[in-house]
Amino acid sequence: MSEPDGEHVGPYRLLSTLGSGGFGEVHLALDPEGRTVAVKLLHPHVAADAQALTRLEREVETMRLVEGPYVAEVLDASLAGDRPYLVTRYVQGRPLSVVPVPVADLRRLARGLAQALLAMHEAGVVHRDLKPANVMMADGDPVVIDFGIASALDSLSVTASGAVIGTPGYLAPEVLEGHEAGAPADVFSFAATLAYAATGRQPYGTGPLSAVAYRVVHHEADLEGVPAWLEPLLGDCLLQDPEARPTAAQICAVLAADAPARGRHGVTGAGTARRRSALGQDQEAALLEASSGRGAGRGGFFWVGRRSGTGPAHPGEPDVHGLSTREWRPGRDGHVRTVEESRALHREKVRRRWVIGSGVFAALLAAAARTPLPEVSLFLLASYALVVVADAAVALLSRGLFKVRRMVTDLTSVAGVAVLWLALSALFSPFTLALFAGTALVVGVVFLLNA
């Protein structure tokens, strides 16, 4: 199934393989506008299952409604032909399953996962396979990947072909017993994942899959070591009865409240795993605020919006092949840069780095030559200033997108080099400055060669 670098799948150019799972192989790729995305190529035995593909095709449009900073949004899909694939936002990070545990900022992880759960359930999507391996940690924030795929591909032929639908220890007991996986099953998986992140242990132990599944159905999770503010909530989420578990909105309300999570009878600590949670007054107010669509941000609630203009051309016929990708900008509804704007911004960044870097090097050389060769010192400064001022003049006459920024950078650099030249001359000897300049030159050459 692996594709060599540079291959194209539809309009996407594959760059490198990121990993492989039960349903497909994930590649880092570029979309037609040069943005990085993750392309999941379905395994041959999955692609050969017409029933599974039909079900997935029906679910794609719903999956595209899931948006937010804590989910890897589905951007595109093509389920026809020999190589069906899904395209999602590329998340640069590491899975929760391989980062050091217990997680340091557990509150941040819990709130992010809860909001991801709320985003999925508000859109009518059940993840079905939420576990540490499907939670990417990106700069300390969790991002849930692969939502809806396990649920859509849950068919006997796919399972018989080798794909494992879910992971015992994170699957809810009703799913292990053969019942349908709904939103409460995701709540169970959410709690099991957080228990692992809080303790570094599998919540239902290790061993053969059948033994782990038996513990899930007949025993309570191992929550020893879970912080007191979180243990009651996890106990409520891990209840055997799906109807007794809190909803994603209730979980968000509990975690958003400043007070520690409380069980149904206000009991904290062990023994709360069989008690259903009840919200306090402050938590109920927070929940009402969430349900009214107010509040946004990483530390609280966000409202899951619906994109206008989506949907099939004809009722009952999902149109997933003509979907276009777009730049994903969490928490913003502002202007999306065009390709030309993105290229201009990149050129401006490169130019600014050269201006600043060459200015520092010129100041070092000029300061080193100030005492033994004052004429050379002034010549270096004047040459740098002349080139940069000329560049500022070109920016003034141009119609570039960033001409004001370019002029400010140029003029500030000239003044900064003069100040740096005076400071270095006063603080260091010419010999020391010459060593600095030589070192900077070597580092610059090595950097260019590596680049």
User: DSSP per residue over 106-171, as a string?
Assistant: HHHHHHHHHHHHHHHHHTT---S--SGGGEEEETTEEEE-STTHHHHT--HHHHHTT---S-TTTS
Q: 230: pLDDT confidence band, cut at 50, 70 and 90? A: very high
Confirm whether 305 is domain-assigned: no
> Domain ends where: 224, 259, 291?
291
Whether the per-residue pLDDT at 10 is higher than 50: the answer is yes
CA–CA gap between residue 292 and residue 278 (Å, rounded): 20
Is residue 395 domain-shared with residue 279, that is, in the same domain? no
Is residue 213 domain-shared with residue 125, that is, in the same domain? yes
Confirm whether 282 is domain-assigned: yes
Q: How does the average pLDDT of the chain come out, rounded?
A: 77
> Domain ends where: 291, 311, 327?
291
Report the share of the chain in percent with pLDDT over 90: 37
The edge-to-edge listing of strands for the beta sheet with 36-42 is 8-9, 12-20, 24-30, 36-42, 85-89, 74-78
Tell me the residue range of the domain where 182 lies: 8-291
pLDDT for res 364: 85
Confirm whether 304 is domain-assigned: no
The winner for highest mean pLDDT among 108-122, 149-163, 249-263, 374-388 is: 108-122
Are 260 and 237 within 8 A, CB to CB?
A: no
Is residue 236 domain-shared with residue 88, that is, in the same domain? yes
Confirm whether 3 is domain-assigned: no
Which stretches does DSSP call E strand in 43-83? 74-78
> Domain ends where: 291, 321, 353?
291
Whether the per-residue pLDDT at 332 is higher than 70: the answer is no
The three-class DSSP label of residue 425 is helix
Whether the per-residue pLDDT at 399 is higher than 70: the answer is no
Amino acid occupying residue 205: G
Residue 129 catalytic?
A: yes
Is residue 355 domain-shared with residue 278, that is, in the same domain? no
CATH code (residue 136): 1.10.510.10
Is residue 137 domain-shared with residue 258, that is, in the same domain? yes
Find the helix or strand (DSSP H, E) in which 219 lies: none
Confirm whether 331 is domain-assigned: no
pLDDT tens-digit series, residues 37-95 = 999 998 888 888 887 787 788 778 888 889 999 999 999 988 887 888 999 999 999 99
Please give the average per-residue pLDDT across 252-271, as a whole number: 56
Please give the average per-residue pLDDT across 426-440, as a whole number: 84
Is residue 170 domain-shared with residue 269, that is, in the same domain? yes
Confirm whether 185 is domain-assigned: yes
Report the share of the chain in percent with pLDDT over 70: 74
Domain count, the chain: 2
Is residue 357 domain-shared with residue 281, that is, in the same domain? no
Per the residue annotation, which of 76, 129, 146, 154 is the catalytic one? 129
The answer to whether 40 is a known ligand-binding residue is: yes
The three-class DSSP label of residue 17 is strand
Is residue 215 domain-shared with residue 352, that is, in the same domain? no
Please give the average per-residue pLDDT across 233-239, as a whole number: 96
The three-class DSSP label of residue 24 is strand
Please give the average per-residue pLDDT across 221-228, as a whole number: 95
CA–CA gap between residue 183 and residue 174 (Å, rounded): 12
pLDDT for res 191: 98
Is residue 283 domain-shared with residue 356, that is, in the same domain? no
pLDDT tens-digit series, residues 343-379 = 667 777 888 888 888 888 888 888 888 888 888 888 9
Confirm whether 48 is domain-assigned: yes
Please give the average per-residue pLDDT across 235-250, as a whole number: 96
Is residue 221 domain-shared with residue 161, that is, in the same domain? yes
The answer to which of 16-30, 146-160, 419-433 has the lowest mean pLDDT is 146-160
Higher pLDDT, 99 or 322: 99
Confirm whether 298 is domain-assigned: no
